[in-house]
Structure 1
Amino acid sequence: MKRKTFSAAAMTLLIPAMLNLSCSEKRTTAHVSDSVDYNLHIRPILSDRCFKCHGPDANQRKAHLRLDTPEGAMAALKDNPSAHAILPGDPAKSEVYLRLVTTDTAEVMPPVKSNLKINEHEIALIKKWIEQGAKYKPHWAFIPPKSTPPPDVENTAWGHNEIDQFILAKLEANGLEPNEEADKERLLKRVSFDLTGLPPSLALQDKFMADASPDAYAHVVDELLAQPQYGEKMATYWMDVARYADSHGYQDDGLRTMWPWRDWVIHAFNANYPYDRFITWQLAGDLLPNPTKEQLLATGFNRNHKITQEGGVIDEEYRVEYVTDRTNTFGKAFLALTFECAKCHDHKYDPILQQDYYSTFSFFNQVPEKGLVGDITLASLADPPNMKISTADVEKILTFINKKDTAAVPVMIMKDAPAKRPTYILKRGVYDAHGDRVSVGLPKAIMPFDSTVYGNNRLGLARWLTDKKNPLTARVFVNRMWQEFFGRGLVKTAGDFGMQGEMPSHPELLDWLALDFVNNGWDVKRLLKQFVTSAAYRQSSVVSPKKLATDPENILLSHSTRARMSAENVRDMALASSGLLTKDIGGPSIKPYQPKGIWESSTSGRGVLARYVQDHGDKLYRRGLYCFIKRTVPPPSMLVFDGSNRDQCEVKRLRTNTPLQALVLMNDPVVLESARVFAEKLLQEKSTVEQKTVTAFRAIVARNPKAEELKILMTYFDDEKKVFEASPEKAKQYINAGEYPFANITDVASLAALMQVVHTIYNMEESITKV
């Protein structure tokens, strides 16, 4: 049936969700610093406004002028040997400055037709920088992290670990104070969702609230980190990075079986594999000495890209496309650099030459794969190279894989061909336009690659990546994890540490975390425990007008940031709180409730995925992590909540607020069924309606309701019960939600009314928000 609108009483609780709008960014013009820093002040201006025409890309360079290097910027101009773009110490004789301040529209830079402008404050910065000697520095991200001791702070009573000293020093420098610690109920909800992706159980809530010891919070953090659901939560993030899906993509979008690799990722996080091992096995597990089946399975990371099964395609064109995907994914996933920009030409902003791109490409170009293998039939579930996982493997070796049937499961993995395939620069990126031949290598600006030291294959690539001297690997990972827990990375552009990316908000903290992470064995659980036990993480999310005006994006972290849960967690919250959640770890993906006809309207009409065949029974109640991802038609309810379609590597999801999200929560069968089942369970308890309502509120929102909230919900129950008593058929129709077996409850009006109350609580903004 179509859902009716909520009553006025219920709307009182729901209005905040509809007003959850993002704050507009506010810009202020600061005074010119006494000491102007190239990386902090100048490079962002030049990169954004100048490097496209005067940067690394020689093919696009204008006037033979290069401004991204000191040699280029300070050399005599080709058209006027007596002039220089930049003359250190003398802005009046620096053509860069003169072109910025001229009123001649034919001479001014950036050109009028570019629609780019440099404001007065930025011009003043450039002038002072030139006056101070125009000192260039390597890009901050390519300078190895420096060990900086935590700074001294005035408020020595605040803080639980070194993270807090870095945060507090910046707050004090900007005249702000940190918030008080969040109350225990909200703090428990926050850390439970961050570490497991699930709401805290009522038993855990009771236990934590009753524990008055100073170590109560630390104990609950350890308990959550030890739960197997921790691995599921971490794997959800990694699926986006690895572009995991259950179909090949492209038009036919046939079935693939990569879920055993997903089971390995869950296992690796739960077993707390060091991050260097975690990424080495995924990049090159097959090249380790005498690789185990687990190490081979880990390399499925490289085979998660889209694969075509359409007849008539040019085989080499698509084979090159797969190698391109692996190269681009490597650049973004591990280095946070836009490698893809150098596929067709030298990078316009970052020091990545087209030759560098194809030297990196060469590492992934040795797989004996084809662009088109098999067809849309089941025979092509796993294109070669692949491995088959048998029941014996699961019983003896790969014990973490949740395989219940006896048939062997084929999984795509990596394996290099015996003969080395030559790699060429592809002119303009065209698959058959071969230029110069290249050998394996990486951009020198990051860190030199010596094949005699590291090796000339993917294992050498992994060794280079996990070398302690690599300036990017640890920084990139700790920043991504910070983004997951604090809502915004220390580098906001988590996928771009290049010159077009943003500078770190707390550079010393980023470096301290990166070095501490590496020096302590790349221990992921230790890193996350540092995050969640810090005072910075434990702050209240209440924001004062002063803080909102001073720091609208909460870059300085003067309070906790409210953020809506991920698409998967919205589903998980409903299932877990109602008791419906199936807690099996791993296994094949499932097909939950979905509107009819979506697959059928977007399919070629061929293959086993031409029609959507919904699952039943316990499979319907599995976590969002396990929902079947068909690339051409991803799960619609998850897309509404900004879920990924997994077409390519994604390190940060968008976060939107739209009316469609409210419509999903009001009408999604998962939410309605959860409300019905939860209401049935509550009615079977020996308690008052008020006590039942409190139990539901605690299970969903993870705190006790306020007196006013409880009053609204009780009034709503009474009103709805009267409506359903007057219309029994309407009550029966309303409770007819989902396939879970119905309890034998004769008071249908009370059941329908209580279901309405539970459903209203599910629709509260706070229910789907980390507060």
Structure 2
Amino acid sequence: MPFTPRFGQVPNATFQLFATSLLLCVITQAAEPVAIDWTKARQHWSFVPPKAQALPKVKDTAWPRGRVDHFILASMEAKELTPSREADVRTLIRRVAFDLTGLPPTPEEVRAFVSDARPDAYARLVDDLLGRRAFGERMASVWLNLARYAEDQAHQVGGNSSLNYPNAWRYRDWVIAAFNADLPYDAFIEKQLAVDLIEPQNKADHAALGFLGLGHKLYARSRLDVQAEEWSEQVDTVSQTFLGLTVACARCHDHKSDPITARDYYAMAGVFASVQMVNLRPDGKEEDGKTLADKMDPGTLHVVRDLKPHDLPVYDRGDMESPGVTAPRGWLQVLSKGEPVKFQQGSGRAELARQITDPANPLTARVMVNRVWDLLFGKPLARTTSNFGATGDKPTHPELLDDLAIRFMQNGWSLKRLMRELVLSATYRQTSRSGAFQAPRAVANRPSLEIDEANDHFWRMNRRQLGIESWRDAIMAAAGTLTLEGGPSQSLDAPTHHKRTIYSQVSRRDLNKTLMLFDYPDANVHAARRSSSTTPTQKLFVMNSPFIIEQSKRLAQRLQQSGSDDTSRIRHAYELLFAREPEAEEIAIAQEFLKQPAESSLNAWEQLAQALLATNEMLYVD
């Protein structure tokens, strides 16, 4: 039977899911292992190294602005689709500002961009946004979900907080700084897995080890079956985040669909069985393992260090009482040229990191390029962003994915350079309105929406819902309450919390209800990408939340001080919230509303401010 911790309380839904999955894994009657044809296995699209691609030929040679557009247009023309027209300048600046910084443009920035007639005005805007601290905060909001960032554990007995992470924010700040410095992605990975081994003198980057050091810690950690749960969690997070593979599925038996054996799993798990999660003080000494969170040194980092390295046996069907043959610590066989590469330097963390970032590895660059495309276009090229295996989806544009991956590595693994190229493309600049075509249809004038309703060929931009961080930050930016300092986390519900939302506390045990309401993922597990929901309770939150009511009051004060008459104030409201001028009908409706007697504790301007904050336009980006 699988391990069930005695935590003194009923496990939450997340742990019950873990337990159920493990139970199914253990009770599965494993068939006799089938010999894997490794030559054939390596022919799966994601295991074939990406190849340099010739630029596709297109009929409409005037439309492409760069290499990306040639690939996209070629796929459109093959389906007799036509690109949509370019978005207007106000829509474009709002879109790219949110995408690159997670914040809306100010009215002054919008006016400056609209009036800038230089041919490189948009490129200048992009470069400015990429250079802001807000860029790192935006990217970190994505990365922390992949890294299952949290500041506590799923279970706690009484007031025992010794397994929590009061200084987790130091890892978060490292991630933000790394993105802002455009740390090459291969180095970004290596530092998070093994900076202490690769660069022993580099104490400044030790916070990067929080990627591993902020993992799950279970009670009764001296027990082998408990330790096995922690190894499995580390293998799962590392393999899905960096490789787009579900290696942990091979814990109990060879992977059911991918060429990953139980030996592969225990070879990787042996790396994590040879390390220990520790709390490292600034003087280099470890905190006492029962040091409570509120007693911990404020400079303490939650990291990992090597123990005596040792290999694991392959446990029969995951049963820790049934050890089998030893699996030397090493790399996945399907990604090795012949026999699996063995790790021999300490725990093997540094060797694991270098195998992941080896340019010959066909997965790492593809996986990250696919995540960036998803971030900017609202739909990845390969839909299953953390599963590039047999059960995952094939990419819709495999040649484009290969071309981007190859050039990503050739260009020094620079994320800023990659993102700059994508947002400057004609593909990115298209309007999201489905009827905005450049030319009549080729086949019986059929609209693109009918030919490709899902927009698989990117003939228009996807309208996207803001994540909770960008939405909440935009509300405070409009109200004039947003502060830009970083540092330690605050409770999201604290009345004084006006920092960006990324600086909020994240709990595995009890995720903040507002974060949960607006689709922030469960911090217990790696989150491949966020879901996007629209529910009545979200609108009820906007109607009744003390935070929204307070921001509405502050926004109303700001608007009333912004002009000498209602019309100019209404115009300013639309500039602040939507980066556009209001239409005449919208001005008339607002003016009429302001004449009505107040029917709540809020005055007319405060009610108008709240109504504008509640609009779909506030929550979505075109």
TM over 0.5: yes
Q: Offset of 1:388 from its aligned partner?
A: 2.1
Is the counterpart of residue 433 in structure 1 residue 356 in structure 2?
Answer: no
Q: Deviations over 1:676-729 (max 9, x none)?
A: 10111222234211211111111111211122222222222222xx235xxxxx
Show the 5 A alignment for 1:264-343.
264-308=174-218, 310=219, 315-343=223-251
CA contact 1:629–1:645 (8 Å) conserved in 2 = no
Show the 5 A alignment for 1:552-701.
552-584=453-485, 586-593=486-493, 615-617=494-496, 620-701=497-578
Show the 5 A alignment for 1:196-211.
196-211=101-116
CA distance in 1, matches of 2:320, 2:570: 63
Normalising by structure 2, we get a TM-score of 0.87
Is the counterpart of residue 723 in structure 1 residue 598 in structure 2?
Answer: yes
Q: Offset of 1:456 from its aligned partner?
A: 6.9
Q: Offset of 1:69 from its aligned partner?
A: 5.3
Q: What is aligned with 2:252?
A: 344
CA contact 1:246–1:589 (8 Å) conserved in 2 = no
Show the 5 A alignment for 1:192-591.
192-252=97-157, 254=161, 255-257=164-166, 258-308=168-218, 310=219, 315-367=223-275, 369=276, 385-389=278-282, 408-417=298-307, 419-448=308-337, 449-451=340-342, 457-544=348-435, 546-584=447-485, 586-591=486-491
Q: Offset of 1:452 from its aligned partner?
A: 7.6
User: What SS does the corresponding residue of 1:621 show, helix, strand or coil?
Assistant: coil
CA contact 2:306–2:347 (8 Å) conserved in 1 = no
Q: Deviations over 1:27-49 (max 9, x none)?
A: xxxxxxxxxxxxxxxxxxxxxxx
Specify whether residues 514 and 454 from structure 1 end up closer, same or farther in structure 2 by C-alpha distance, changes over 3 A only. farther
CA distance in 2, matches of 1:509, 1:708: 44
Normalising by structure 1, we get a TM-score of 0.70
Is the counterpart of residue 756 in structure 1 residue 617 in structure 2?
Answer: no
Specify whether residues 495 and 714 from structure 1 end up closer, same or farther in structure 2 by C-alpha distance, changes over 3 A only. same
Q: Deviations over 1:712-768 (max 9, x none)?
A: 22222222xx235xxxxx4xx33xxxxxxxxxxxxxxxxx21111111111111111
Q: Offset of 1:517 from its aligned partner?
A: 0.3
User: What SS does the corresponding residue of 1:582 show, helix, strand or coil?
Assistant: coil
Q: Offset of 1:493 from its aligned partner?
A: 0.7
Name the stretch that deviates more: 665-674 or 205-214.
Answer: 665-674
Specify whether residues 467 and 429 from structure 1 end up closer, same or farther in structure 2 by C-alpha distance, changes over 3 A only. same
Q: What is aligned with 2:95?
A: 190
CA distance in 1, matches of 2:408, 2:201: 27
CA distance in 2, matches of 1:152, 1:59: 50
Q: Deviations over 1:417-475 (max 9, x none)?
A: 2x223312122223443222111122222234534899971111111111111100000
Name the stretch that deviates more: 643-652 or 444-453.
Answer: 444-453
CA contact 1:159–1:165 (8 Å) conserved in 2 = yes
Show the 5 A alignment for 1:67-82.
none
CA contact 1:454–1:464 (8 Å) conserved in 2 = no
CA contact 1:571–1:670 (8 Å) conserved in 2 = no
CA contact 2:479–2:554 (8 Å) conserved in 1 = yes
CA contact 2:331–2:342 (8 Å) conserved in 1 = no
Specify whether residues 170 and 667 from structure 1 end up closer, same or farther in structure 2 by C-alpha distance, changes over 3 A only. same
CA distance in 1, matches of 2:318, 2:151: 29
Specify whether residues 623 and 680 from structure 1 end up closer, same or farther in structure 2 by C-alpha distance, changes over 3 A only. same
CA distance in 1, matches of 2:349, 2:567: 62
Specify whether residues 329 and 214 from structure 1 end up closer, same or farther in structure 2 by C-alpha distance, changes over 3 A only. same
Q: Could you tell me which amino acid in structure 1 is paired with residue 319 of structure 2? A: V
Q: What is aligned with 1:768?
A: 619
CA contact 2:137–2:502 (8 Å) conserved in 1 = yes
Q: Offset of 1:666 from its aligned partner?
A: 2.1
CA RMSD of aligned residues (A): 2.5
Specify whether residues 497 and 626 from structure 1 end up closer, same or farther in structure 2 by C-alpha distance, changes over 3 A only. same
Show the 5 A alignment for 1:147-158.
147-158=52-63
Q: Offset of 1:649 from its aligned partner?
A: 1.0
Q: Could you tell me which amino acid in structure 2 is paired with residue 414 of structure 1? A: V
CA distance in 2, matches of 1:674, 1:334: 39
List gaps (5 residues or longer) in structure 2. Answer: 1-27, 284-294, 436-445
User: What SS does the corresponding residue of 1:723 show, helix, strand or coil?
Assistant: coil
Q: What is aligned with 1:60?
A: 31
CA distance in 2, matches of 1:271, 1:573: 24
Q: Offset of 1:59 from its aligned partner?
A: 3.6
User: What SS does the corresponding residue of 2:335 show, helix, strand or coil?
Assistant: coil
User: What SS does the corresponding residue of 1:760 show, helix, strand or coil?
Assistant: helix
CA distance in 1, matches of 2:78, 2:29: 42
Name the stretch that deviates more: 138-147 or 649-658.
Answer: 649-658
List gaps (5 residues or longer) in structure 1. Answer: 1-56, 72-134, 370-383, 391-404, 594-614, 725-729, 735-751
Specify whether residues 425 and 65 from structure 1 end up closer, same or farther in structure 2 by C-alpha distance, changes over 3 A only. closer
Name the stretch that deviates more: 224-233 or 406-415.
Answer: 406-415
CA distance in 1, matches of 2:112, 2:183: 30
User: What SS does the corresponding residue of 2:447 show, helix, strand or coil?
Assistant: helix
Q: Could you tell me which amino acid in structure 2 is paired with residue 156 of structure 1? A: T
CA distance in 2, matches of 1:693, 1:313: 60
Q: Deviations over 1:510-566 (max 9, x none)?
A: 000000000010011000001100010110001138222222221100000011111
Q: Offset of 1:291 from its aligned partner?
A: 3.3
CA contact 2:242–2:364 (8 Å) conserved in 1 = yes
User: What SS does the corresponding residue of 1:412 show, helix, strand or coil?
Assistant: strand
CA distance in 2, matches of 1:239, 1:274: 18
Q: Offset of 1:668 from its aligned partner?
A: 2.4
Specify whether residues 575 and 153 from structure 1 end up closer, same or farther in structure 2 by C-alpha distance, changes over 3 A only. same
Specify whether residues 707 and 288 from structure 1 end up closer, same or farther in structure 2 by C-alpha distance, changes over 3 A only. same
Q: Deviations over 1:471-525 (max 9, x none)?
A: 0000000001101111111001101100001111000000000000000100110
Specify whether residues 344 and 533 from structure 1 end up closer, same or farther in structure 2 by C-alpha distance, changes over 3 A only. same
Specify whether residues 432 and 664 from structure 1 end up closer, same or farther in structure 2 by C-alpha distance, changes over 3 A only. farther
Q: Offset of 1:195 from its aligned partner?
A: 0.4
CA distance in 1, matches of 2:492, 2:527: 24
CA distance in 1, matches of 2:226, 2:172: 25
Q: Offset of 1:137 from its aligned partner?
A: 7.5
Name the stretch that deviates more: 287-296 or 347-356.
Answer: 287-296
CA contact 2:331–2:355 (8 Å) conserved in 1 = no
Is the counterpart of residue 713 in structure 1 residue 587 in structure 2?
Answer: no
CA contact 2:195–2:205 (8 Å) conserved in 1 = yes
Q: Which has the higher contact order (CA 8 A, sep 6+)?
A: 2
CA distance in 1, matches of 2:315, 2:343: 26
The total of aligned residue pairs comes to 568
Q: Deviations over 1:157-182 (max 9, x none)?
A: 10211000000000000010010110
Q: Deviations over 1:112-152 (max 9, x none)?
A: xxxxxxxxxxxxxxxxxxxxxxx998100000001112201
CA distance in 2, matches of 1:166, 1:495: 23
User: What SS does the corresponding residue of 1:413 show, helix, strand or coil?
Assistant: strand
Q: Could you tell me which amino acid in structure 2 is paired with residue 591 of structure 1? A: S
